[in-house]
Amino acid sequence: MNLRQLPNTISVFRILLVFPIIYLLLDHQYQQTLVLFVIAGVSDGVDGFLAKYYGWQTWLGGVLDPLADKFLLVSCFIALAWMGLLPWWLVALVMLRDVVIIAGATYYYFRVDRIDAQPTFLSKFNTVSQIGLVVMVIFAEIVSLPSWLAAAMIIFVALTTISSGLDYVIAWSRKAQQRPH
C-alpha cells in the first residue's frame, strides 16, 4: 500500500466501524459502543491530519471522509431514535439539511460551476455538536445525567443544524450571484 492512500484506508475503516457500532448500540452494549465511537472519532482526526500534514489529499479522500462522518452520524441518530433516545424530528432535520446541501451542490455543479466542497466553520461546528450529542446520549445510558441536559443538547444540535444548512444555502447563493454570466 502506498502511504499516500493511508488517509483513505482509515476512512474506509471508519465506514466499516459503523456496523459494529450500530450492532452494539442496538444490543444496549453502551460502553463498547462508546469505545468504538471514540476510535472512529480519533481515526477521523488522524486521517485528516495525515492528509493535510503530508499533502496526501485526494479527490477520493475528499469524498470518503465526509461520507464516513455522515454514515456514522446518521446511522447513530437513526439507531438512537429507534431506541427512543432521540426524537425522530431531529433525525429528519439532520437528514433534511444533508439533502438540501447535496441538492444545492448538485445544482451548483451542473448549472453554475465546478464545486470546491470545503466544509464551512458552522458545518464543522455542527458535526462536533452532533458527535457530542451522540456521545452524551450513549453516556447517559451508562451514568445517570440530568434529563434537562439531553433536552438542551437536542435543541442546541437542532439550532446548529439549521444554522449550518442556511449558511451553505446563503454562501453558495452568493457565490452563484457573483459569478460572471
Distance between CA atoms of 79 and 88, rounded to whole angstroms? Answer: 10
- C-beta of residue 81 within 8 angstroms of C-beta of residue 90: yes
CA angle 34, 38, 42 (to 5 degrees): 175
6-24 tens-digit pLDDT:
999 999 999 999 999 999 9
The boundaries of the domain holding residue 81 are: 3-178
pTM comes to 0.89
Q: Give the chain's domain count.
A: 1
Q: What is the pLDDT of residue 131?
A: 92
Residue 6: which residues within 8 A CB-CB, separation 6 or more? Answer: 47, 50, 56
24-70 tens-digit pLDDT:
999 999 999 999 999 998 998 898 888 888 888 888 888 888 889 99
Distance between CA atoms of 14 and 36, rounded to whole angstroms? Answer: 10
Q: What CATH number corresponds to the domain at position 56?
A: 1.20.120.1760
Distance between CA atoms of 24 and 100, rounded to whole angstroms? Answer: 31
Work out the burial of residue 11: count CB atoms within 10 Å of its CB; fewer than 13 is exposed, 13-18 middle, 19 or more buried. buried
Query: And the C-alpha cell for 146?
Result: 440530568
**Mean pLDDT, the chain, integer:** 89
